[in-house]
Amino acid sequence: MLSTAPGALAHVPVVLLDLDGTLVDSGPGIVAALEHAFTVSGEQLPSPEVLRTFIGPPLTESLQGTLGLSAEKTEQLRLAYVEHYQANGVLAAPPYPGVLDLLQRLAEQGRTVAVATNKPEITARRLLDHQGLAGELTLIGGTDRAVGRTGKAEVIGSVLRRLGIAPATVPAVMIGDRIHDAEGAARHGVPALLAGWGYGGVAEQRADIARVESVVELSALLMS
């Protein structure tokens, strides 16, 4: 398990970051888009607690795995969600306090900093551009249904390939708020930290995965 002592990861040249619940507080925009999708589809709206679990993982996975919806109904909801979110949600996802400063400091040190998110890549780029964060990043990686890149492990693999990085020879770390961030990173031999300020909650804490509770703590961990 990674150390969370100040400066413990200052030597790591490659930092991969989740987006929702890690860099930006995108929950309100996501939930609003979900509520719209359920309303227009005529499906019963899940409880707020259930909707919160949808923030982060692939939407199709949540709709089918959590609610047991058919493939047809899942696609109907997904399309309604995407339409609403792209028009409204990307504008309602402010960075968490301290995030911009952290990204700027990492960039000044010459570190490779990339986003690896389950959001469609084009949506992630638009959001990060709007929030003024894109310019601090080396690469923005997300899902792309056209090429079959639909889960976190596939996204992380794509990001590493595009960066030309082999984790066996170049140290890297993944930081995200959900357990699937850590599991996806593990598929590529990349250790992970859980972001305690995001949407994972106590249920996704694991004794074998380190956790930081604030952007301030993460900054201290990554800086010398």
- Return the pLDDT at 105: 98
Of the residues 42, 58, 91, which one is the last residue of a structural domain? 91
Residue 60 lies in a domain: yes
The answer as to whether 120 is a domain residue is yes
Same domain for 179 and 102, yes or no, is: yes
Kindly calculate the radius of gyration of the chain based on its CA atoms and give it in whole angstroms: 17
Check residue 79 and give its pLDDT.
Answer: 93
25 is catalytic: no
What pLDDT is attached to residue 182? 96
Report the number of distinct structural domains present in the chain. Answer: 2
CATH number at residue 193: 3.40.50.1000
DSSP string, 195-220: ETTSS--GGG--TTSEEE-SHHHHHH
Is the same domain home to 74 and 162? no
Instruction: Tell me, yes or no, if 20 is annotated catalytic.
Output: yes
Q: 68-95, pLDDT tens digit by residue?
A: 999 999 999 999 999 999 888 888 899 9
Catalytic residue among 18, 25, 177, 181: 18
Handedness of CA 224, 139, 85, 120 (dihedral sign): negative
The average pLDDT across 117-140 equals 96
pLDDT at 203 over 80: no
Query: Of the given ranges (4-13, 75-84, 200-209), which has the lowest mean pLDDT?
Result: 200-209
Catalytic residue among 20, 25, 177, 181: 20
In the structure, what pLDDT confidence band is assigned to residue 136 with cuts at 50, 70 and 90?
Answer: very high
Per-residue pLDDT at 142 exceeds 90: yes
Provide the Cα torsion 140, 97, 201, 71; round to 10°. -40
CATH code: domain of residue 43: 1.10.150.240
| 48-52, 109-113, 182-186, 192-196: the lowest-pLDDT one | 48-52
Asked if 119 and 14 count as a contact pair (C-beta separation under 8 A), the reply is no
Whole-angstrom Cα distance, residue 54 to residue 36?
A: 14
Average pLDDT, the chain: 94
DSSP H or E stretch at residue 82? helix 71-88
Mean pLDDT within 21-29: 95
Rounded to an integer, the average pLDDT of 27-45 is: 93
109 lies in the same domain as 80: no
Q: Residue 8's pLDDT is what?
A: 97
Domain that holds residue 40: 27-91
